[in-house]
Amino acid sequence: MNLQGKSVLLTGASGGIGEVLAQELAAQGAHLLLQGRKGAALERLRQELPHPERHQIAIANLALAAERAQLLQHPALDEGLDVLINNAATLQFAWLEDQSMEQVERQLRLNVEAPIQLTRALLPRLRRPAIIMNIGANLGAVGHPGYSVYCASKFALHGFSEALGRELAGSGIRVLHFAPRTTRTRLDSEAAYAMHLAIDTPIDSPYEVAELAIIALCNETRRSWLGWPERLMVRLNALCPWLIDWQMARKAPLIERYARQGPGDAQHNAR
């Protein structure tokens, strides 16, 4: 898809990958509706984009049904939408037993319920052709200790993307699933990044990820799994999960040491 003049709703735009995605989309000539919880950050981003008059902001907490409904009333959606990018997410790096009920619910509401409900409500407003891009994660195909709830949410988003894409085949709406590996943003905690360094996990910059996301969007690539050896792990986990069990078991004590430092508070809409 050529993004010049296209109307795009980008969720989770006020930080992390979302902020850089907004910059890349605007550079391609898209007209953006930027959703996030932080009004000042959204307005600052809008003003910094090329042709800020082309772009609008929408302040909403997508984990709350009432605020999703408010977003759907935004005038920018009245004339239809060419691209919906479900990017907003939150996570908690902690052993499951150390997470509160609220932390579990927040991940499931924002990472699963919000994109599904938002997509369902916006389907009638999508033009033809149109694209729905769901920003997943490699942890949506490989279960990782310390990320049980986040993995559950991203496995769900992966399944949703695949099933919806098959439902909409031939309709003029394409569903893309784009799955980065670990990315350096405020989404994860410092304990998590220390753990990733300790076990030699590659960490990408949000600029690298956003650039690849735009390429996938323009090429309408249905499935994108970023990074090596992460792509191999996705395949091995599907074909020979016992190999990944063995590998994770070797690392589990080290992962647990960092995960037990305390669950803390995940960043809302950081990605």
- Catalytic residue numbers, as ranges: 150
Q: Which pair of structure tokens corresponds to residue 136? A: 């997943």
Q: Beta partners for 224? A: 178
Please tell me whether residue 15 adopts helix, strand or coil conformation.
coil
Any residues with CB less than 8 A from the CB of 17 and at least 6 apart, and which? 87, 135, 180, 183, 185, 206, 209, 210, 213, 271
CA–CA separation, 247 vs 174, rounded Å?
A: 36
Let me know the angle formed at the C-alpha of 5 by 116 and 221, rounded to the nearest 5 degrees.
Answer: 50
C-alpha to C-alpha distance for 37 and 266, rounded to whole angstroms: 14
Alpha-carbon distances of 26 from 17, 52, 94, rounded to whole Å: 14, 9, 36
Look at strands 81-86 and 56-59 and give their pairing.
unpaired
Nearest CA among 46, 56, 57, 54 for reference residue 23 = 46
What are the Cα distances from residue 57, in Å, to 27, 46, 73, 81? Answer: 17, 7, 13, 15
With contact defined as beta carbons under 8 Å apart, do 229 and 237 qualify?
no
Cα separation of 93 and 149, whole Å?
9
